[in-house]
Amino acid sequence: MARICAITGRRPVKGRIINRKGQSKKSGGIGTHVTSKTRRKFRPNLQKIRIRMPNGGTKRVWVSVKAIKAGLVQKA
């Protein structure tokens, strides 16, 4: 199952870690150079919580903490 927020639609995003090596020009070197680029994922902070549905029932869904703090969901 994909980890996607049921309220905001937040999902993992692809990115990179960029490793640089060398002394910067500012401190007297010839500049830094990229030595490697490693793939990574930025994952949203999701919590599985019970929320109150509009029809009065409850349901367990993945919700981002940002949505919980903003008050976008009613906890059951």
Q: Are 28 and 69 in contact (CB under 8 A)?
A: no
pLDDT beyond 90 at 10: yes
pLDDT for position 50 = 96
Residues 14-59: tens digit of each pLDDT: 999 999 999 999 999 999 999 999 999 999 999 999 999 889 899 9
pLDDT beyond 90 at 76: no
pLDDT beyond 80 at 1: no
Using a cut of 0.85, tell me whether the model's pTM lies above it. no
Dihedral sign for Cα atoms in the order 63, 68, 71, 76: positive
Give residue limits of the domains in the chain. Answer: 13-70
Distance in angstroms (rounded) separating the CA atoms of residues 48 and 3: 10
Give the up-direction half-sphere exposure of residue 27: CA atoms within 13 A in the CB hemisphere: 4
